[in-house]
Amino acid sequence: MVPDDSEEALIDGLVRSAFQVMGVLTRIGAEHDLSLTQLRVLGIVRDRRPRMSDLAAFLGLDKSTLSGLIDRAERRGLLARTTSPDDKRAVVVLITDAGRDLTQRLYEQMRDALAPATGRLGARQRHELTELLETVLTPPLPSTPRPATQR
Amino acid sequence: MVPDDSEEALIDGLVRSAFQVMGVLTRIGAEHDLSLTQLRVLGIVRDRRPRMSDLAAFLGLDKSTLSGLIDRAERRGLLARTTSPDDKRAVVVLITDAGRDLTQRLYEQMRDALAPATGRLGARQRHELTELLETVLTPPLPSTPRPATQR
DNA sequence: TATTGTTATACTCTATAACTATA
DNA sequence: TATAGTTATAGAGTATAACAATA
């Protein structure tokens, strides 16, 4: 399939927006001495109790990488390790209260940082963009049901 | 300003799409032993001749980081250094033929990798999404590290 | 035997501090 | 003095290989 101009422009937009969003996340993470990966781990573990291997698979990282990652987060009191009762080989990662608090703050900062950008759209356009993004990037991964957090 | 649900959903979409696009870029880069940062540098230097400090400012990295980055790319024959005739302190970075060829291949792979996603939209929707992305992420995202010199 | 994690090792990315050369 | 880059150093992120414990 020969790519036309509109496809080229779209890809460009997607890539640029990705870099900008990542820039925001990187900055917010850095303010708390957290890398992008640590940020992701916190986001995942926030409402899940994955095993090391689950995390590694989900993040596309080697298990040895996870060991170090979790080590550092554990040393900071953000995460904790437990042995699985089902499989004595497995290590389950869970978030601590401190980790949860920090994660909450991170989410709020992220929202605030992106608000000026998203605020440039009206409700109608926001909805439109959300739908289009969903369509384009349909995730083949089963997303975990998020409890409707009231606020 | 109290964020409503539609804003929350949009931010979620933007962040997830960013991670997915970054995933694609990371994978393609890895296939050529290039980090995300190296990828960006190639993309920038492809049609520009920035000085080290320009690159550092644009990427939001320290100059010393750039030294190492350019060292490695130079060692691989992808980039080259020249001294600026205007300012004997300044070092201008430029892309080699090999670097240009590789960059071209990277772009094509990127397009191919994202095509299944973008292909899910019709021409009309593609246009729509492109426009919306432009609107949302246009000017100064509050976090973008921009050199104070311009703007 | 296969799987789960950790450890040892090595390389890249990153920043800070100290330094050289030029402005 | 101030700016442009490099180097030395240190810590985090990453993968590969070798290993221990469990399945």
Q: Which of residues 27-66 of B touch strand C (CB under 7 A)?
A: 34-35, 37-38, 60-65
Taking residue B107's Cβ as centre, other Cβ atoms within 10 Å add up to 16
Mean pLDDT of B12-37: 91
Query: Of A14, A7, A70, which Cα lies nearest the Cα of A40?
Result: A70
Q: What is the CA radius of gyration of chain B?
A: 18
Please enumerate in sequence order all residues whose Cβ is within 8 A of that of A26, keeping only pairs 6 or more positions apart, or say none: A36
A8 to chain B, any CB pair closer than 8 A? The answer is: yes
Q: Does pLDDT of B54 surpass 60?
A: yes
Angle, CA of B130, A37 and B52, to the nearest 5°: 70
pLDDT of residue B16: 84
* Distance, CA of A29 to CA of A110 (rounded, Å): 10
Instruction: Say how far apart CA A10 and CA B119 lie, in whole Å.
Output: 11
**Which amino acid, B49?**
R
Residue A92 three-state SS? strand
- Asked whether residue B4 carries a pLDDT value surpassing 90, the answer given is no
Listed by start position, the domains of chain A span: 5-138
If you compute the radius of gyration of chain A from its CA atoms, what whole number of angstroms results? Answer: 18
For chain A positions 86-145, those within 8 Å of chain B (CB to CB) are 110-111, 113-121, 123, 125-130, 132-139
pTM of the predicted structure, to 2 decimals: 0.84
Strand partners, A12: none
pLDDT for A7 equals 79
| A63-84: pLDDT as tens digits | 999 999 999 999 999 999 999 9
Could you give the CA distance from residue A54 to residue A150 in angstroms, rounded to a whole number?
29
More confident position, B19 or A41: A41
pLDDT digits (tens, 9 = 90+) for B87-116: 999 999 999 999 999 999 999 999 899 988
Determine, for residues A116 and B23 on separate chains, whether the beta-carbon distance falls below 8 Å.
no
Shortest alpha-carbon distance between residue A21 and chain B (Å)? 6
Longest pairwise C-alpha distance within chain A:
55
Closest-lying nucleotide for A72 based on CA to C1': D12
pLDDT of B15 strictly over 60: yes
Question: What's residue A63's pLDDT?
Answer: 98
CATH code: domain B5-138 is 1.10.10.10
pLDDT of residue A139: 54
Residue B113 main-chain phi, psi, to 5 deg: -70, -35
Which pLDDT belongs to residue A124? Answer: 94
